[in-house]
Amino acid sequence: MHTNSTPHAYSTLEENIARAIEKKMEVIAITNHGPALPDSPHWWNLKNMAVIPRTVENLNILRGVEANIVDEAGNIDLNNSIYKVMDIIMAGFHRVENYKDIDNQGKNTNVLINLMKMQYVDIITHPGNPQYPIDIEKIVSIAKEYNIALEINNASFYLTRRGSAPNCEEIVRLCKKNGNIISLGSDAHISYEIGNFSYVEEILEKYDFPKDKILNSSKEILFKFLKERKMQKPTIFSHKH
């Protein structure tokens, strides 16, 4: 979810936390955008997420970021100060200034593969976005090899990234066949949308997707995955932007 530290979101951190507690959720992840987008928080804001408590009442709070791919090498817009405080790092394609030729499937596929091989990122966000076409079969295969989750984003079905539904369904189908881990994203930009996976759940039911391969199924599955990812990730973020 996003907070209003990102100007195109509308709820404060405390409003999101209160809503999640009201919904009896066990875990939330605060994942505001990385600084390459014009309306993203300054990197100081992301670094200072260290002040956010780990728990409020019975709610676990993950400090996270939705980073942006900034070049053809697959680099993302973090620095080590942000990287070292994050519990969970997501990244994907957004309209940033330096990333051109967005409808080039071969380029987009290679960029995601490069990104996953660097192992900085735990989850690839909204890979079903048709504005950034990819070779889905290749991406599913590499994600499985490097133990990286692919997000199925609920907002992509009704709110943004129009035309994503067929790609998302194909990702779900191939992830089930290949044994991949997936992450469900509400992509909430207001507290009322927290934990809303209504569209995604229809696809998961259609393909009888196994719950033990869905990060959101339980905090035990999620925390086990994050522990594995922490062992795989480099201890220092070495790219400079």
Give the pLDDT confidence of 180-192 residue by residue, as tens digits.
Answer: 999 999 999 999 9
Neighbours of 233 (CB within 10 A): 18
Average per-residue pLDDT in the chain?
Answer: 96
What is residue 1's predicted lDDT score, i.e. its pLDDT? 97
Give the pLDDT confidence of 113-160 residue by residue, as tens digits.
Answer: 999 999 999 999 999 999 999 999 999 999 999 999 999 999 999 989
Share of the chain above pLDDT 70, in %: 99
Give the pLDDT confidence of 65-91 residue by residue, as tens digits.
Answer: 999 999 999 999 999 999 999 999 999
> What's the pTM?
0.97
What is residue 238's predicted lDDT score, i.e. its pLDDT? 85
- Domains of the chain, by residue range, sit at 65-185+192-232
Q: Is the dihedral of CA 171, 198, 186, 71 positive or negative?
A: positive
Dist. CA 75–CA 83, nearest whole Å: 13
What is residue 81's predicted lDDT score, i.e. its pLDDT? 95
Per-residue pLDDT, averaged over 19-45, amounts to 96
CATH superfamily of 65-185+192-232: Metal-dependent hydrolases (3.20.20.140)
Please report which confidence band the pLDDT of residue 240 belongs to, taking 50, 70 and 90 as the band edges: low
- Contact, 63 vs 47, CB < 8 A? no
The phi and psi torsions of 80 (rounded to 5 degrees) equal -65, -30
- Element (H or E) spanning 107, and its range? helix 105-118
Per DSSP, which regions of 93-230 are E strands? 123-124, 149-153, 182-185
Please report which confidence band the pLDDT of residue 241 belongs to, taking 50, 70 and 90 as the band edges: very low
Residue 175 pLDDT more than 50?
A: yes
